[in-house]
Amino acid sequence: MNPVGTLQSWIGGRWIGAEAGLSLRSAVDNALIYHTHAEPVDAEQALDYARRTGVPALMALDFQQRAARLRALATHIARHRDELYTIAYLSGATRADSKHDICAGIGVLNAYAGIAASGLPSGNVLHEAPAVSLCRRGAAAGTHIMVPRGGVALHINPFNLPVWSLLEKFAASFLAAMPCVVKPATSTSYLAEALVRLIDASGLLPQGALQLAIGPAEALVARLGDDDAVSFTGSDATARALRNHPNLLARPVQVSVAAASLNCAILGPDVGADAPEFELLVDAIVRSMTVKAGQDGAAIRRVMAPRAHIEALTARLRERLAAVVIGNPAAADVHMGPLASQAQRSELGARVRALAEDGEIVCGQADGYAPTDDAVRHGAFAAPTLLLCRGGNAVHEIEAFGPVCALLPYADVEEALALAARGRGSLASTLATRDPALAAYAVPRLAASHGRVLILEREVAAAGTEALASAHLTYGGPGRAGCGERLGGLRAVSHYLRRSALQGSPTMLTAVTGEYVRGAAVRESDRHPFRQHFDELQVGESLLTHRRTVSEADIVAFGGISGDYFYMHFDEIAARDSQFGKRIAHGYFVLSAAAGLFVSPAPGPVLANYGLDDLRFVAPVGIGDTIRARLTCKRKVDRQRRDDKGVGQGVVSWDVQVTNQRDELVASYDILTLVAKRPGH
């Protein structure tokens, strides 16, 4: 790529933009590196293309197929990771910083691919089971489904993590079959452009699934419609402007905001300067101040420490921060590079000065930092800056988005929690403690105003605060942090789907959800369901087994095999006094006997039984009771997998109902199997 070329947007399946617009400069030495394109993005065209081309192309795939594409995309981007690292360097990122952005972004794609493979169905209807019976005879049932909404998602991203923020929002909306238009922050849009070019070159995405719009977002926001969504991450001021946009006030566009957050950490009163947790918290603070030069929405901005320990903490942090090597992010011995732009540097300086009105600067400075290396003298450097604030509100109001953190002494836990809450809602908090009673008291209070709480102690040290970025956990904070919810596995995918309550007969619910709902019509044939391949099986395929009378010999034999001589099965007197009034069979015997009733023993397409879900022993089985089982194909998920020999396979869940001679349900569960496809399928 031409290092002083003009960036392009990817709209309507074409790369557009030829005329130079805004100048973008290297964070490292202020050299001109790119221009944005001057031509405005045609918002109408972009949204229309997403709706008309993107939606049907995404809907031509199902959840599982999109998950497989995500995994392939992660592999493709990982293969080209170094190209992105080289470009990220221009934004001031050290190699470690790029891991935080680029590797973490690839990790999110992989995590979502895995979450979707195991948690989403084949097809495009997500059934939120279980269905409930809405009348005595079971003729009417109700359940919930989640379906793609058919609109387009506008993703507006901040400058600080251009790769991660693009991929984490994209992964969830892509799985939900919602095409997205990504608007990257202008100052680091060159990295977003490089990423989208890689994605384009992969050929893995359906047409219209992703578009890139470099430049102002106003025209796009103004044209969002009722089925659309906007997911924004950025500053308070922009969040406010967006929420008050006339189109978003006038129309039911789904708006999700992640904004400035004054995250906090509390050093527990139980943690003295010689405790490992003290050093762990110091590590976490230094890391949060220096990774990406503190430009992370989850960075710790406020640290509450007991008055008795504040001096020790201040001294230790000062010592550790003095050892941070600031300079050219390409150099191996450099810990911290510059801020992303000169604009950020001057804004940060102003904010540090405002914070200093309510406290003292313990180390660092407001006026940036001049490295000794001549080659990077004009870079956007800032010094790690620690403040000590004994009062005032500035520290709870002003976000200095850089390597800046403030210490606040507290007298007791109540004061620490009150200080934490003064951030008016934050993304993340950390509590360093070894005291479970303190954690049990403080965490629910912290959770009321923080999207995440990390309890930091020696056992979790290996994971450290990086674990905060886990794709499986919700990411977002209440109050001024925006009330948005991102990541969080399937919760994030649901965010882009629409939930609808569904009422009808079990047969209709089965037809719509693609999952057998009890009470629905079943299909019985001469061929045992276990002898049918994955591609032959149909949901509702069912087998009602022969019967078996449970004898005392069964109980004795099962006790002997399992070693389970629980009184309920073996002590006539105690069993008579129990709620059942008699000896009963082991629940696990009933389970095993049911398997004996329904399996088809000869080798066949069922490759493995890998577990069971939702097991309930509903009623006791006594000596002399006669049981039988109904096995019904409940759900089929095609994860697009093949074994080493190239034979395709899918996951089949079977509904099992074990009943007694009075047709009463005695045991209920789902069994999970892997089933081979026919050769060539």
Residues of span 135-164 touching ligand NDP by CB under 6 A: 156-160
Q: What residues contact residue 464 under an 8 Å CB cut-off, 6+ apart?
A: 280, 283, 284, 287
Tell me which of 120, 125, 185, 266 binds ligand NDP, using CB under 6 A. Answer: 185
3-state secondary structure of 565: coil
Q: Judged by CB under 6 A, which stretch of 25-33, 177-185, 195-203, 555-563 contacts ligand NDP? A: 177-185
Tell me which of 41, 180, 260, 520 binds ligand NDP, using CB under 6 A. Answer: 260
Q: How many residues does the chain have?
A: 681
Contact status: 217 vs ligand NDP (CB under 6 A): yes
Contact status: 183 vs ligand NDP (CB under 6 A): yes
CA dist., res. 401 & res. 415, Å (int): 25
Residue 550 CB coordination number (10 Å): 21
Chain residue at closest Cβ approach to ligand NDP: 297
Smaller CB separation from ligand NDP, 209 or 468: 468
Tell me which of 49, 174, 369, 401 binds ligand NDP, using CB under 6 A. Answer: 401
Residues of span 456-485 touching ligand NDP by CB under 6 A: 481-482
Tell me which of 241, 273, 362, 388 binds ligand NDP, using CB under 6 A. Answer: 241
Smaller CB separation from ligand NDP, 286 or 468: 468
CB 484 within 8 A of CB 257: yes
Contact status: 242 vs ligand NDP (CB under 6 A): yes
Contact status: 26 vs ligand NDP (CB under 6 A): no
CA dist., res. 455 & res. 111, Å (int): 23
Output the 3-class SS for 635-662. Answer: EEEEEEEECCCCCEEEEEEEEEEEECCC
Smaller CB separation from ligand NDP, 184 or 306: 184
DSSP readout, 401-456? -SSEEEEEEESSHHHHHHHHHTTSSEEEEEEE-S-HHHHHHHHHHHHTTEEEEEEE
Residues of span 295-314 touching ligand NDP by CB under 6 A: 297
Smaller CB separation from ligand NDP, 221 or 509: 221
CA dist., res. 138 & res. 132, Å (int): 9
CA dist., res. 298 & res. 28, Å (int): 24
Nearest-approach distance from CB 183 to ligand NDP, in angstroms? 5
**Contact mark string toward ligand NDP, 610..649, x via CB under 6 A:** ----------------------------------------
Task: Name the nearest CA neighbour of 420 among 372, 481, 371.
Answer: 481
Looking up tokens 């309550």 gives 501
Q: Judged by CB under 6 A, which stretch of 72-80, 102-110, 216-224, 410-418 contacts ligand NDP? A: 216-224
Residues of span 481-510 touching ligand NDP by CB under 6 A: 481-482
Nearest-approach distance from CB 563 to ligand NDP, in angstroms? 53
Contact status: 235 vs ligand NDP (CB under 6 A): yes
Our CA dihedral for 551, 552, 554, 555, rounded to 10 degrees, sits at 130
Nearest-approach distance from CB 334 to ligand NDP, in angstroms? 23
CA dist., res. 255 & res. 499, Å (int): 17
Contact status: 438 vs ligand NDP (CB under 6 A): no
Residues of span 380-399 touching ligand NDP by CB under 6 A: 399
Nearest-approach distance from CB 171 to ligand NDP, in angstroms? 15
CA distances from 528 to 5, 39, 332, 364, 600 (A): 65, 65, 64, 75, 7
Nearest-approach distance from CB 189 to ligand NDP, in angstroms? 8
End-to-end CA distance of the chain: 43
CA dist., res. 360 & res. 351, Å (int): 13
Helix (H) or strand (E) holding 347: helix 342-356
Nearest-approach distance from CB 49 to ligand NDP, in angstroms? 20
Smaller CB separation from ligand NDP, 186 or 494: 186
Smaller CB separation from ligand NDP, 29 or 399: 399
Q: Judged by CB under 6 A, which stretch of 258-266, 453-461, 507-515, 566-574 contacts ligand NDP? A: 258-266
Nearest-approach distance from CB 489 to ligand NDP, in angstroms? 17
Q: Judged by CB under 6 A, which stretch of 230-238, 431-439, 563-571, 572-580 contacts ligand NDP? A: 230-238
Smaller CB separation from ligand NDP, 188 or 632: 188
Smaller CB separation from ligand NDP, 366 or 468: 468
**Angle, helices 63-79/189-202, rounded to nearest 10 degrees:** 120
Tell me which of 259, 348, 394, 575 binds ligand NDP, using CB under 6 A. Answer: 259
Tell me which of 186, 532, 653, 673 binds ligand NDP, using CB under 6 A. Answer: 186
CA distances from 515 to 240, 499, 520 (A): 43, 17, 10
CA dist., res. 12 & res. 604, Å (int): 49
Nearest-approach distance from CB 103 to ligand NDP, in angstroms? 17
Contact status: 288 vs ligand NDP (CB under 6 A): no
DSSP readout, 111-129? HHHHHHHHHS-SSS-EEEE
Q: Is the sign of the CA dihedral 487, 81, 100, 28 positive or negative?
A: negative
Total of chain residues touching ligand NDP, rule CB under 6 A: 29
Query: Where does 4-151 have alpha helices with state H?
Result: 43-49, 55-59, 63-79, 81-89, 95-98, 104-119
For 349-387, give one letter per residue: b (16+ CB within 10 A) or e: bebbeebbebbebbbbebebbebeeeebebbbbbbbbbb
Q: Judged by CB under 6 A, which stretch of 13-21, 217-225, 359-367, 590-598 contacts ligand NDP? A: 217-225
Helix (H) or strand (E) holding 9: strand 9-11
Smaller CB separation from ligand NDP, 409 or 477: 477
Smaller CB separation from ligand NDP, 358 or 399: 399
Contact status: 256 vs ligand NDP (CB under 6 A): no
CB 369 within 8 A of CB 378: no
Output the 3-class SS for 491-552. Answer: HHHHHCEEEEEEEECHHHHHHHHCCCCCCCCCECCCCCHHHCCCCCCCCCEEEECCCEECCH
Contact status: 261 vs ligand NDP (CB under 6 A): yes
Task: Name the nearest CA neighbour of 82 among 102, 100, 96, 97.
Answer: 102
Q: Judged by CB under 6 A, which stretch of 132-140, 166-174, 229-237, 547-555 contacts ligand NDP? A: 229-237
Contact status: 352 vs ligand NDP (CB under 6 A): no
Residues of span 60-89 touching ligand NDP by CB under 6 A: none
Tell me which of 46, 258, 284, 405 binds ligand NDP, using CB under 6 A. Answer: 258
Smaller CB separation from ligand NDP, 381 or 534: 381
Tell me which of 234, 294, 371, 403 binds ligand NDP, using CB under 6 A. Answer: 234
Nearest-approach distance from CB 36 to ligand NDP, in angstroms? 9
CA distances from 354 to 113, 340, 360, 394, 481 (A): 44, 21, 11, 7, 21
Nearest-approach distance from CB 163 to ligand NDP, in angstroms? 13
Nearest-approach distance from CB 568 to ligand NDP, in angstroms? 53
Q: What residues contact residue 537 under an 8 Å CB cut-off, 6+ apart?
A: 529, 633, 636, 652, 675
Binding site for ligand NDP (CB under 6 A): 156-160, 183-187, 217-218, 221, 233-235, 238, 241-242, 258-261, 297, 399, 401, 427, 481-482
